[in-house]
Amino acid sequence: MWKWNYIWIQFLISLLLLIEFTFAKSTASVAGLTSTCPALDPRLNYRPVIGILSHPGDGASGRLSNATDASYIAASYVKFVESAGARVIPLIYNEPPEVLQTKLNLVNGVIFTGGWAKTGLYFDVVEGIFNQVLKKNDAGHHFPLLALCLGFELVMMAVSKNNEILESFSASNQASTLQFVKDLNIEGTLFQRFAPELLAKLSTECLVMQNHKFGISPETLQGNKELGSFFKILTTSTDENNKVYVSTVQSESYPVTALQWHPEKNAFEWGLSMIPHSDDAIQVTQSVANSFISEARKSFNRPPAKEVLDNLIYNYPPTYCGYAG
């Protein structure tokens, strides 16, 4: 009995295929469509993975853990990366250097997050990864870095080789505009992918989130030989006392972009009262994420899939700390 059934199913499938084929053929001839998709660009990596460096502490002022070796990555950075089509491997800052190195070799770009740690092992690890980013690019491997808020400040310290280079600013829990430097050509910058209307609004509406007490003035950046030759200033912003600081920079010769502001907060953070959550503000988050991940797709690094899976952030359970801030 089963045998007959089997044959019957086979027959049914053949009949369906025949009908589908005839249908597809007639649709194609009517609409002039073909069913073939253009080949993917072989120069791009469509499965990019981003390393996010963890920051010391529990991210909740001791309400989750007081362990001295605790470190965390706020979920907003992970979602930011995922929203643009990439996955995350956590680079846990206080893991043994060889483990960190192995993980760094599994990714296609790195994010330095916001936070407060500016000294000790954390700074040394940031500086070490930063130097490796330059080395990989020097060796012809496209490898982008996005440094955000504290990350921006640490990169300023690393490039200038001066741990006292930062100045005080009052920009805690403040939404701001971005003022583009005169005659800026946005081609090849973070802003290239922004829709023209959104780009125009950045300088008149408060669409980006600032939350920092330190920063660097345009005069200090340009007056420093190392910083002045490494970075091009894209935008400045003003703090609560109308003091102007550098808010966005990009390296002249490396895919290194640093933002004093927080692109990940608009769409994914709710703890601070001034975070912009408007339609335009969410597009700012999305546009920065798209820009950065499109750089990561240019990375040729294609590590073994199993090693990537073994190290993805999905191996770590997230902890809800919404009540704790």
Ligand X SMILES: *[C@@H]1O[C@H](CO)[C@@H](O)[C@H](O)[C@H]1NC(C)=O
Q: Which residues of the shown chain bind ligand X in the complex (CB under 6 A)?
A: 62-66
For 128-137, which contacts have Cβ atoms below 8 Å and span 24 or more sequence positions? 128/97, 129/53, 129/91, 129/104, 130/154, 130/155, 130/158, 131/158, 132/104, 133/254, 133/256, 134/254, 134/256, 137/254, 137/255
Taking Cα atoms as reference points, which of 176, 54, 178, 177 lies closest to residue 115? 54
Beta carbon nearer to ligand X, 69 or 164: 69
Instruction: Provide the minimum distance between the beta carbon of 56 and ligand X in the complex, in angstroms, as a whole number.
Output: 15
Instruction: Provide the minimum distance between the beta carbon of 150 and ligand X in the complex, in angstroms, as a whole number.
Output: 22
Gap between the Cα atoms of 30 and 306, Å rounded: 45
Gap between the Cα atoms of 97 and 124, Å rounded: 11
Beta carbon nearer to ligand X, 62 or 97: 62
Beta carbon nearer to ligand X, 62 or 325: 62
Gap between the Cα atoms of 79 and 207, Å rounded: 19
Beta carbon nearer to ligand X, 64 or 244: 64
Strand partners, 249: 233, 258
Beta carbon nearer to ligand X, 117 or 244: 117
Instruction: Provide the minimum distance between the beta carbon of 66 and ligand X in the complex, in angstroms, as a whole number.
Output: 4
Name 240's Cβ contacts closer than 8 Å, sequence gap at least 6.
Answer: 170, 171, 174
Q: Which two tokens stand for residue 92?
A: 């846990």
Instruction: Provide the minimum distance between the beta carbon of 57 and ligand X in the complex, in angstroms, as a whole number.
Output: 11
Instruction: Provide the minimum distance between the beta carbon of 65 and ligand X in the complex, in angstroms, as a whole number.
Output: 5
Active site residues: 149, 262
Structure-token match 């919404």, residue found: 322
The H helix count followed by the E strand count for the chain is: 11, 12
At residue 173, φ and ψ (nearest 5 deg) are 45, 55
**Helix ranges restricted to H, 139-268:** 150-160, 196-202, 218-223, 225-230, 263-268
Beta carbon nearer to ligand X, 60 or 199: 60
Beta carbon nearer to ligand X, 36 or 68: 68
Please report, as a single letter, which amino acid is at residue 167. E
Is residue 70 within 8 Å of residue 57, measured between CB atoms? yes
Instruction: Provide the minimum distance between the beta carbon of 123 and ligand X in the complex, in angstroms, as a whole number.
Output: 24
Q: Which two tokens stand for residue 289?
A: 């994420």
Instruction: Provide the minimum distance between the beta carbon of 74 and ligand X in the complex, in angstroms, as a whole number.
Output: 18
